[in-house]
Chain A
């Protein structure tokens, strides 16, 4: 039992350490899907928004949040789903975008396509498909190093 309620800042710090189940190099807070953390009396309320409505990672994400917070001694926890405002890739943190690129996934750009190949940095890239291995990604290919790569779709 936690003697005193941890501060919201502490809780955000804990959530910052929970990796995204599909792209473990970024955290849930990097992804921008944790919309709010509040104490309602002695219950901790965490508001989460889905990336895509059918994303199968959503239930795993909720489970991971619960597991992480329980491990820190949070006993009363409520997870709230919020659809509006709808998730946008604008909420990806700058550090999250940098981590994606290091991992080999081109980060989203409002221009609608990757700036360059995440591996060789060539700007000569072409789209293979608007869809990819997960709902949030599209398939692209580098025309210089010829490697295919994932692009995080801008929505």
Chain B
């Protein structure tokens, strides 16, 4: 088995990398200028966090791979992001719903990692938690604004929630990697974050006048890399195009 710590750091870094790339797809085409800037800023924070997580992953692995190598030289089956992060942008509402469902988890996860027994992980979490606090404030407000908005925006947000909810459960699934790290006090048990997540999300959805789907059925396979959705491969062909066509290109 691969070093659980390396696996875990790839999960953290791939979540922020893949979501960052998705969010950056809005750059220049968002509904209004302020949203365009906000989305680009969010993507920038996430890519900064990616450099820290994947940089540390490469260091732990000790095979000379840095953050760029990990980002651009792995194929779909080596990615460890949750399926939620790779889901396509859809309309602006779907993008913001995906962001909120992720941010709400991300904040709890980082708060827990601040107390990690690994000093490097705790330092990255301490840095990232400040940024993510801003992310969830904005994505939560937007979900409320659009959910409790016009008939059209409400209906689109409900559709986005129904479409994305089956990807929420994977955030809280625990496996051997999580158990190994939680036993050493490096990372929280994913299941331990669920109650607080539900409380926060239920409150926002209620204010947004949206209905949480009855079923908590969860698609899985992203964080283990066993089965990504078809969307990730398409995204990577674009994201990795330059390094695939011109390996080691720099400028």
> Which 3 A-B residue pairings sit nearest by Cβ, starting from the closest?
A54-B48, A53-B48, A84-B123
A54 touches B138 (CB 8 A): no
Measured between alpha carbons, how far is A140 from B52 in the docked complex, in Å?
31
**A131 to B134 CA separation, bound complex (whole angstroms):** 9
Secondary structure at chain B's binding surface: helix, strand, loop or mixed?
helix
Given A84-B122, A153-B134, A131 contacting B127 (CB threshold 8 A): no
Per the bound structure, the CA–CA distance linking A52 and B51 in Å amounts to 12
Please provide the chain B residues from 131 to 160 with a CB less than 8 Å away from any CB of chain A in the complex. Answer: 131, 134, 137-138
Q: How many A-B residue pairs have CB under 8 A?
A: 71
Q: Please determine whether B48 and A83 come into contact, CB atoms closer than 8 angstroms.
A: no
Contacts of B137 in A (CB 8 A): 130
Residues from chain B with Cβ under 8 Å of A135 in the complex: 41, 44-45, 131
Given contacts A129-B38, A131-B138, contact A55 B48 (CB under 8 A): yes
- Interface positions of A (Cβ within 8 A of B): 50, 52-56, 83-88, 128-133, 135, 139, 153, 155
For chain B, the count of residues having a C-beta within 8 Å of the partner chain is 26
Return 23 A-B CB contacts under 8 Å, by A number. A52-B44, A52-B131, A53-B49, A53-B127, A53-B131, A54-B44, A55-B44, A83-B52, A83-B124, A86-B123, A87-B127, A88-B130, A128-B34, A129-B35, A130-B38, A130-B138, A131-B38, A131-B42, A131-B134, A135-B44, A155-B130, A155-B131, A155-B134
